[in-house]
Amino acid sequence: MAWMRAAAGRCGIEALLLGARMRLLTQSQVRDLVRMDVAVSAVEAAFVAHGKGQTQMPPKVYLDFPQHHGDLRAMPAAMGDAVGLKWVNSHPKNPILHNLPSVMGLYVLSDPATALPLAILDATLLTAVRTGAAAAVASVHLSVRHRTLGIVGCGVQADFLVEAHRVCFPEIQVVAADRDPSAAQRVVDRWGGQVGAVGDAAGCDIVCTATPSRTALVGRDAVMPGTHINAMGADAEGKQELDPALLKDGVVFVDDWPQASHSGEINVALHMGLITPDDVTGSVCEVVAGIAPGRPSPEAITIFDSTGLAIQDLALAQAVVAAAVEASVGLQLDLRQ
C-alpha cells in the first residue's frame, strides 16, 4: 500500500506544480486503469485505517425521491493525505424506465492541505469494484471454507463479487441464483459454475447477496454451519435480504454501526425488535485491523453487513488517480479560469 500512498501524494504535488490543474477521468478511462487486485488491497487498507480510528467519515447524507423510485447520497471521507466525496444514486427502475444504470456516481478527490480539487472521475465503476473488493476482504478474514461461492442476485454487481473472490480464492466455484434465470446463466457463462435456486446458492461456503430486496430472500434453514455471508444489497432503510433468524443465530459484523443500524441488513430486524444491538458482534474493520476477534468457531455462521464505506471509495480513487498520473491519462483542467 505504500506505493499507492506515495503516488497519491505525488498527484497532489503535481496538481500544485501544474497550476492546480485538475485531472478528469471518464468511465472508460477508469475501467482501463482499475485493477481488482489493487482494489482488494486498497479496501483492506481502508478497513484497517477505519478500525484503528485513523479516518474521518461522517454518515451518508440521503436525499430521497420516492416519486422517482430512488435516492441520491453524498459520501465524504478523509484518510491520511487524501480527502474526497462521492455523489452516487440508487434508482433500481432506471434500466426499465430510462435505459440508464441503477447506480451512477461521480468522485471528487481533493488536496486536504489546500482544498484544491485534484481529480474528478466517474465513480459508477468505482462503486461496483470497491463493493466486490469489500466482500472479498470480509471473506478472507471471516470465512473458514472457500470451495464454493453462492451469488444471490445476478445483476451488474455479481461480476465484481466473483472477480474479487477469484483474486483471493482462485479455485472457488460459483453457484448463481436470480429470479431471472438468464441473469444467473450470464454469470455462469462468464465465470463457470452452475445456475441454481436461492437455496442452492445459500448452501455454499461463502454466500454473497446483492439485490435491492425489501423482503428476506435467504432462509435460515438453507444456510449450513460454518458458512460466511456477505450481505451487500441492503443499503437503505427498509431493505433486507436475510431471514432475521440468521441475524439472531449468526455472528454479525458491520462495516459501520451508524450506517448499518439505519440502512444495512440489520436495519429492519433491529427496528422491528427481532434483534437488539447486543446481537451485533462488532466491526469488520476492527477484525481486519487485528484489534478484535473474528469468527468464534468453525461451526459459526458469520455475516458481514456491508453498507459501503466512503473510505473504500477514497482509497480506490487514490489508486486510480495515481495510475492515471503514471500513464498520463485524463484531461487536465484549471477550474479557476
Q: Which residues belong to the active site?
A: 86
Q: Which three cell numbers stand for residue 222?
A: 438453507
CA angle 127, 105, 174 (to 5 degrees): 30
Q: Which three cell numbers stand for residue 227?
A: 458458512
User: How large is the angle between the packed helices 310-327 and 36-51, nearest 10 degrees?
Assistant: 140
Q: Is the dihedral of CA 201, 206, 211, 214 positive or negative?
A: positive
What is the number of alpha carbons within 13 Å of residue 47 lying toward its C-beta?
32
Residues 140 and 197: their CA atoms lie apart, in Å, by 25
Residues 112 and 136: their CA atoms lie apart, in Å, by 30
* Dihedral, CA of residue 1, residue 141, residue 211 and residue 102, to nearest 10: 0
Residue 84 contacts by C-beta under 8 Å, 6 or more apart in sequence? 76, 77, 78, 107, 108, 109, 110, 310, 313, 314, 317
Residues 74 and 76: their CA atoms lie apart, in Å, by 7
Number of Cβ within 10 Å of residue 223's Cβ equals 25
Residues 297 and 290: their CA atoms lie apart, in Å, by 17
Distance of CA 33 to the CA centre of its chain: 18
First-residue to last-residue Cα distance in the chain = 35
Residues 149 and 176: their CA atoms lie apart, in Å, by 8
* Dihedral, CA of residue 153, residue 308, residue 323 and residue 20, to nearest 10: 140
Strand 331-333 relative to strand 117-122: parallel, antiparallel, unpaired? unpaired
Q: Judge whether 55 and 77 are in contact, CB under 8 Å.
A: yes
